[in-house]
A and B are shown apart, each in its own frame.
Chain A
Amino acid sequence: MSLLDSEAIARRTMHLFFMVDTSGSMRGAKIGAVNDAIRNVLPIIREISDSNADAEIKVAAMTFSNGSEWLYNDAKNAEDFEWIDQEAVGGTDLGEACRDIEKILHQKSGWMGSGSGSFAPVFILLSDGGPTDDFDSGVAVLWKNNWFKAGIKVAIAIGEDADTDVLAKFTGNIERVIRVHDVETLKKVIRVVAVTSSQVGSASASATAGGVDVKKEDEVTEALKEQLEEEKVEIGTDLNTESANDDEW
């Protein structure tokens, strides 16, 4: 044991939560794209966590259709988290998903306890439709939770039928609801959202001329706007500009 040895510096934990709609309407190309995209973005998340002296990233994922279910029974270190390909069948119990996620957003009784503390968590919600259960009371429970309030919340609205108003109630801001219309854009957006929110969320807060004033959520909103502008991905509007064809839905 040399005096030159040292342990890794104490790092805070940043929790990254994926909430994936696996209702029947997601069957086929949509759920296929989600499976593919999340599987492909995990190595990048691992890389961000590995080379980050500010924070380590822990990942958790839940699916919701008839009821909701977690992939694992705890958040896992990014390098240990393996995505399990999901099938799509059933309804869209987003309300129950909200309640279930609220249950674990606690230090002692939930998954948020960490010896060296945490940064605010990141929530990425993917859905293609509207909730089929009592969403309003479910999301109200979430908004009473401090971890959720402080967190970075982004939603990806997949296709025409996704209810962006509902998703905006989750994110708290229509600008953080990103609508996509095709498989390739969906994959790209999942990557950009996951990477950007992880990079911002797992770093110390930024200072501007006014001091540490910029909220991380706003930093993410701005970054997403700039990065996704060129993709012609709509952010926060309900305009229907694409006409349906076989490649899109």
Chain B
Amino acid sequence: MSELKIGTTVHLTNGQTAIVKKLLGEGGQGYVYGVDVAGQKMALKWYKKDPSSDSAAFYKNLSRNAMSGAPSPVFIWPKYVTNKEYDSFGYIMDLRPQGYYEFGQFLLGKQKFGSFLAMTTAAMDICEGFKALHAMGLSYQDLNDGNFFINPQTGRVKICDNDNAFPNGEKSGILGKARYMAPEVVMGKTLPNAYSDKFSLSVVLFMLFYMNHPFEGAKVLSAPCMTESHEKKFYGSEILFICDPTDKSNQPVRGIHNNVIKRWPFLPSILRKVFTEEFGKDKLQNPTRRFTEQQWLDTITIIRDSLIRCPHCKKETFVKCDSSDNKCMECGKPIQITNTLSINNRTLSLTIGNQLFLDRDDTPDLQIVQDSQDANKLYIRNLTPDTIVVDTTKGTTRQVESKGILPVKAGLTLHIKVRGSMYKCEIK
């Protein structure tokens, strides 16, 4: 067996060495060791056996990926590749940061998001990661709940097991699990590529929001023993979304699929709309029509825009800015939205305690605060490091420096700079 002993010296292709310190974990494909590389603590993934039917191509791809570097900081990417020695090989990567847990732990109910804000942040990070990966011409291929590590409080994500990132359309051997793969791959019609990745991304996002699998409902449950031929059917030729509006034969089952039954009604309607489309027959059968990561990012932005703090109970709730009938999903009290902020086609509510995110990172840019004398008077506080230029209703301009405030008054136009981009926002 290719298990390494503590203290073994492994040689890297860049001339450095790594000393094995301890075994961190073991998976189907290989071992993960804590190692020392020139005084720095890193991790070594060491393969148990040939990770692919074409070992030479796999090794070449791994080396190529290590050379080009990670598509984005979200990825725990191969940094250095080892020589072929001790009958095997592996690669060096950063250690996983503390406080991050496997997505599978969330599915198993052992970890949960500290807030809906963290949930949307995680969704954003995963989409941004995929977008960056595809921009490099790579596709993920063996995606499943073991590849993502999420911080439950912040929602930040680290994507691991990136040795399976291959140039679009290339790969041989085991390609992934049927449960996460696009139907055309399950049926053997295509090899994994960026389009099948987009399907897998939608499956992961569905599981992230609803804690259930999008294609496992009554129909799938009716097969007592899930054999390979059943998997080919249920994730391939007869794949059916559990919330399909016309075909109800695969609906979630009460008592078994409680998470999605509970969450489907109260999470924003745009999510229901997008998933129903993505998992409808048209997009299942026509991979090129699937949502791009950018479209997902825009959707998640809208969801985050609609997340506010209830002015009564202070808990998180989703609202619809164009509705006059908003009720807090926690305390049930009605919420009145008097003013909103318009940015292009986005609408954000200006309610007390609300934090507004203009760009996609998880640092709030604006916050709504209350007058200490008059609870009905609200102000916007500038949380950005730059000055905001305001076009007043009188035709003049005013400046609001960082940490300063301006009144919530309909008609004002704000020019806000966040991380190099300009946002033109109108208070309505």
Contact = CB atoms under 8 A, between A and B. Distances in A.
B256 A205 contact: no
Given A4-B113, A7-B259, A53-B107, A227 B145 contact: no
Interface residues of A, number: 48
Contact of B175 (A5, A150, A209, A226): A209
B77 interface: no
Interface string B75-113: 000000000000100000000000000111101111011
What secondary structure prevails in chain B residues at the interface with A? loop
Contacts, number: 149
A12 interface: yes
Query: Which 5 residue pairs are nearest across A and B when measured between Cβ atoms?
Result: A211-B188, A204-B179, A8-B109, A204-B177, A53-B104
B46 to A, nearest CB: 14
Contact of A212 (B48, B104, B186, B207): B186
12 contacts: A4-B115, A7-B109, A9-B213, A50-B108, A115-B256, A117-B221, A206-B176, A207-B177, A208-B175, A211-B187, A211-B232, A211-B236
Given A118-B226, A226-B49, A207 B175 contact: yes
Interface string A1-36: 001111111101000000000000000000000000
Given A53-B107, A207-B186, 4 more contacts: A8-B109, A204-B231, A213-B228, A214-B174
What secondary structure prevails in chain A residues at the interface with B? loop
A199 B26 CA distance: 12
Interface residues of B, number: 65
B181 to A, nearest CB: 5
B334 to A, nearest CB: 18
B179 A9 contact: no
Given A6-B259, A210-B188, A119 B174 contact: no
A56 to B, nearest CB: 9
B185 A10 contact: no
B375 interface: no
Nearest to A107: B224
Contacts of A103: none
Contacts of B108: 8-9, 50-51, 53
B140 to A, nearest CB: 14
B178 interface: yes
Contacts of B423: none
Contact of B107 (A8, A120, A212): A8
